[in-house]
Structure formats: structure tokens, C-alpha cells
A and B are shown apart, each in its own frame.
Chain A
Amino acid sequence: MTKTRLLIIFIIFIALNIFISLLNLWQSIWWLILFVDFVLVVAFAEQVATIIPLKYQKLYQRALAISFPIFVLITWELIVNAGILNPRWFPPPTKIAAALWDLTINYDRFNKTSLFGRPWLAPSVLQSDGWPAVWSLFTESHVLTTLWRVFFGFIIGAIPGILLGIIMGLNKTIRMMLDATMSAVYVLPKIAIFPIMMLIFPNPFGEGPKIAVVAISAFFLVAISTMAGVRDIDPVFLQVAKNFGANRRQTFWHVIVPGALPIIFSGLRLALGTALIVIVAIEFIRAQIGVGYVVFYHWQILATDKMYAGLFVVMVLGILLTFILQAIERWLMPWRK
């Protein structure tokens, strides 16, 4: 039964695509055909799911998740090569990959930068010029510079944010005084304070203003969610603590902190995403180094393959950072499944 259906869907798929190719309709309605193809693939995959044994279901779902982006990349490659999309604005994935490789191995003499910092040179540089030269290999890296800005800004924003959030959660007077102001600042797009930061710091083009904006955006997000987390703790847990003789310090560590932790972490996750957005935007407008700079610079000189390579790196950084935060989360909150 299912097998016949699979066969029918498969035949429709092949017939449709051959038919369209014969009539030379790809050029004009390629988006419509891609949509129909996609629906057919979904229908096919759904039928397959019904005949896959239960113990392979998880594997199958994972395979679906992985194969989708691969399909997208292949389709992209094909329609660009067929001349349907302009390769100038949508360079095919293979060309983007080549550009990524190019950016990785080559050193930009003019800007004195490279994408990852050429770590493979470290051993020979160490022998000839010593540790400072190895260090300068790191500082020439776009990726490491961006990561450093995000990491440093995130830490110096999030830690005070957690502290203030806890204080606001516990003390009603401070909460009443600060809450409205905090919420107002919270909705301000943080990138808008970048000019102020450039005025405040002695070197407007240095690292100071960039990291400060990241820190400030993390600070407000984390402070507000931490406060919500503390307020969200079921009061009965505080009664339990009191009834079982916990003092203030014990109540803090055994009830307040673990009780607020899940919501604190959802704030941290938001703050990390925001930090990446903010830093890339700042690197667009005011930086000589960083992945945001890579993207924007190659857009300016119309090297779109390298621009996409830069975007790809930003995406991978986002995934990597989220992954690290999730690992910390699982480690700190083993009770959450």
C-alpha cells in the first residue's frame, strides 16, 4: 500500500521535472516548480516514515534534518549553474566554499589580518621570532577577535546583570525604583548607544566602545530575566527553607539561585544571541577586523563569494556559542530534562 504510494509520488516527481525541462519552463517559473518539488519530497518522506521501524525513527528524523540543508545547497548550485539565478549575487555554494578556503589560508597584507589566524604557522614562527609573534598570529584573526569581543562583553555585562537582577528580585523598593527605567532601556536598540560609547572612551576606534555596547546589551537582558526568575520562585519553597531552619545565606544558595537558574539561562541565551548581532553590526560600521568586517568589506568590493563565506562563519559562530551555553546549562541544571 505504502509502497505503491511511494512509487506514484516518485513517478510524478520525475515526470514533472522532465516535462518542465522539455518545455523549457524552468527559467520563468522555477520558484513554483521548486515549491511543488518540495511538497512532493515532503509527501515522499512522510510515507517513508510510516514504514520505518520504531527503533530507527530517531535516526530517520535526524537524517531528514541533515538532508534538508544539503538539498538546498545542491538546488542552489544547480539553478545558479543553469543560469536561472545571477551568480554575481548568488554565487554557487562550491564557489563560496572555495572563497572560504581562500580566506582561511591567505593573509591580507593590506589589513594585516586573516580569517582564523593561521595557527599552522605557529610552530615555525615560535622558533624564528618567539612568543610575541605567535600572539600576533592570534590577534590577526577575524574570528578570534569577534569571539573575544563577544565573550568579554558578554561576561562583563552578564555578571553584574545577574547580581542586579537578584537584588531587584529580592528587594521590592529597589525593584519599584528601577523596573520602569530598566524596561524602557531594554527596548532601546543597543546599537543606538554606540555613538555615545565612542564619545565616552578616549579611543573611539579602539575595542572599548565595541565591548561596552555588547556588555550593556547583555546587562539589561540578563538583569530583567534574572529578576523575573527570582520572582517566579514558588513562595512555598521559601517557607520550606524557613521551616527547616535555613539562614539567609543558605536560603540564597539552596533556594533562590537554583530556583531562578532556568529563567536566568533563558536570559543568557537571549543575551548571547543579541551580543552576536550587536558585534556584527558594529563591525560593519566601525572596525578593521572581525567577521562583521569581513562580510561588509567584501560586499563593498563586490566579492560576494567571500561575503557569503563571512556570513557562513557568523552562522557557525552563533551555533557554536549556543552549543557551549547549552552544555554549561546541562552541567549546572542536571535536574532539567
Chain B
Amino acid sequence: MIKIKAQNISKIYDSANGKITALDDFSLEVEDGEFVCLVGPSGCGKSTFLRILAGLEPATSGSINIARSPNSTKPVNNVVFQEYAIFPWKTVINNVAFGLEMRGIGKKQRQEIAMSWLEKVALSKFANYYPSQLSGGMKQRVSIARALANDPEVLLMDEPLGALDAQTRTVLQAELLRIWEKDRKTVVYITHSIEEAILLGDRVIIMTAQPGRLKETFEIDLARPREIELTATAEFAKLSGIIWQALKDEVKQAYDAQMMDKVD
């Protein structure tokens, strides 16, 4: 069953110095329970696409359809934003319970649900802390727990581990794998790391440099459940070599474009 169907999405921004085409005729279909990773050079429109998927921003043209499971009362989607975007004025547990609170779920029940998610991301001891008292990795766990606690039909993640140091990132990748493999939610996951995309995804989609178009799709047939050790295998190295070939030109083009901007 197809869960997400994005057809011919284009997005043109009207900015002070002219029109910017962020996305050009980009289409994507995601199966129910599939983990899809979007990879592309920075500025290619990944975040834009995710915001359009989430309904936070209209597309200039094209259509989005997210199929709901029959009789479901779940929210359609929730986003884990690129910056942690957790509320500094709410405690950890109230941040995680935010979506539940907005949906009118009673205090006792939402605290219970939030607490169970805090346990899953190993933060239950910090339930009553404020975000300013947490490290970057912990903040991002809160952000992930907030989306998961709301139990959406699809989960949209925008470079959730992008701002973290290499070690914390590896730990959280393992945690994400473990959590996701339990209930296999439909996920669209943006990353700029090929390794992360292969490790987590069922499918890796490469986007072109700006304007963002579909460049190539790779099915990742590695067996599940996966472990972090997978990254050390020859098979993994071979895959990442192949995907890098597809991405390389786009990254270079984006880099050159950036240099040109600086020269102007």
C-alpha cells in the first residue's frame, strides 16, 4: 500500500533578489512502513520538500497525498526539525507531551505516554529538566521522542542528527534503528550522510543540486534488524561507493554555485 504520494512538486520562492526555484518537478512515493532517506547537497530543497509534505508550506504546483489507515485517529504527520526546535520554556516531559496536550489528552495519560517514551530514549531521569540543562544529543532525543509520542501516521525527519558530534551521532543512529524496527512506522528521513542513509533506509534517494530534482534511487537490501556494525562490512562500503558516484557531481555543482555567490 502506498502511504505517501507526492506528485510533480515544484516550489518557487519569491525573494528580494528574484525568484528561486527550490524544487523542480519532484515526485516521491513511499510504501506503508518504508524508511526512505533523501540525500542531496545542501540547498537542494530537502527541507523545503519536507515542509511541503508536512503541510507547513504550500507547493507552487503538484499534489501531496498521505493515505490514512482506516478509522485512524492518529495525527497524519509529525516532524523532527533540523534544529532541535524543542521549547526552552517547557520541561523535557512537557515538551514530549506537547502534541498529546494539543490534542486534548488528559494530563495523567499524556504524562504516562511521555514518560514511557523518555524511558525509550534513556532520558527518564531528566523528565523535569529544562532544555538549557541538556546537551545537544539529549535535546535531539527529546525532539525525536516528542514526535514519536504523538504517534503519527508518518514521521518526517530533517537531518535530526546533523548537528551532533560523530560519537553521539553513532549512538543515536543505533537507538533510532532499535526504536524504528519495533513498530516500522513510515519514515521520510533527510540526511547529508550517505552512510547514515544506507544504515537506516530501505531506499536511498539522491537529489540534484538546486533546483532539487530526482537524480537516482537505490534500494538497500541489507537484512534487518540492522546493527551499527554493518557499517564496517565490505557490502556496506561497496554500496556507499556506488551512491557516492551518483552524489559527487551534485555536491560539486552545489559547492561551485556557492563559490560563485561569494564572488558576486
- Chain A residues proximal to chain B, CB less than 8 Å: 234, 236-237, 239-247, 250, 254-255, 258-259, 261, 333-337
Report which of B88, B90, B103, B131 forms a contact with A245, defined as CB distance below 8 A: B103
Report which of A239, A254, A255, A335 forms a contact with B81, defined as CB distance below 8 A: A239
Report A30 CB to chain B, min CB distance, Å.
50
Is B102 a contact partner of A239 (Cβ separation < 8 A)?
no
Q: B25-65 vs A: 1/0 string, CB under 8 Å? A: 00000000000000000000000000100101000000000
Chain A hits for B54, CB < 8 A: 243
Is A243 a contact partner of B79 (Cβ separation < 8 A)?
yes
Is A337 a contact partner of B132 (Cβ separation < 8 A)?
yes
| Known A242-B56, A254-B87; further 6 A-B contacts with Cβ < 8 A | A236-B85, A239-B56, A240-B98, A258-B90, A337-B132, A337-B133
Which residue of A has the minimal Cβ distance to B103? A245
Residue B210 at the chain A interface, CB threshold 8 Å: no
Is A334 a contact partner of B130 (Cβ separation < 8 A)?
yes
Complex formed: what's the CA distance from A236 to B56 in Å? Answer: 11
Residue B240 at the chain A interface, CB threshold 8 Å: no
Residue B208 at the chain A interface, CB threshold 8 Å: no
Chain A hits for B146, CB < 8 A: 244
Chain B hits for A336, CB < 8 A: 132
Is B89 a contact partner of A335 (Cβ separation < 8 A)?
yes
Is A244 a contact partner of B87 (Cβ separation < 8 A)?
no
Report which of A239, A250, A334, A335 forms a contact with B51, defined as CB distance below 8 A: A239
Chain B hits for A334, CB < 8 A: 130
Residue B241 at the chain A interface, CB threshold 8 Å: no
Q: B64-93 vs A: 1/0 string, CB under 8 Å? A: 000000000001011101010101111100
Chain B hits for A242, CB < 8 A: 56
Is A244 a contact partner of B51 (Cβ separation < 8 A)?
no
Residue B99 at the chain A interface, CB threshold 8 Å: yes
Complex formed: what's the CA distance from A246 to B146 in Å? Answer: 14
Report which of B78, B88, B130, B132 forms a contact with A244, defined as CB distance below 8 A: B78
Chain B hits for A259, CB < 8 A: 89
Chain B hits for A337, CB < 8 A: 132-133
